[in-house]
Structure 1
Amino acid sequence: MWLRDRADRATARLTARAEARGDRGQTSFEYLGIAVVIAVIIGVLAGTTDIGDKIKTGITDTINRITGGGK
């Protein structure tokens, strides 16, 4: 019985530590994952359909507007 109580206390401590730590550091990896998925989708579309040209043109135009390039 004492072993179970000790295990329960240890589990409670680990849970409290995990909750106190929060989600710090997770965000950058989540953004990276989303960026990779989007890049793969764009790559597939660019290689298989004419939608790729429209996407490429849209991205290029947006980048040029932001950076002032293409003038």
Structure 2
Amino acid sequence: MKVTLLKAVENTRAWAQFRMDYMKTKPKGQRGQGAVEYMGIIIVVVAIVLALMQTNLGTTISTKIKTEIAKITG
């Protein structure tokens, strides 16, 4: 579980770095969200991932989704 959490955090950091690099090099005419908004989104996503990994809720959700997919696919 800790390895999965570390991978999730590392993937989030890599995505954030990619977005920051893009924002530095994008043409001046483009407009969009700033770094503060992106960091806010990243923090929320990481908090949700951490909450799901620390509780049994993530496993419960995964099991229910798999059950419903099995019902649909037969």
Q: TM-score range, shorter-chain basis?
A: 0.3 to 0.5
Greater relative contact order structure (CA < 8 Å, 6+ sep):
2
TM-score of the superposed pair, with normalisation by structure 2: 0.37
TM-score of the superposed pair, with normalisation by structure 1: 0.39
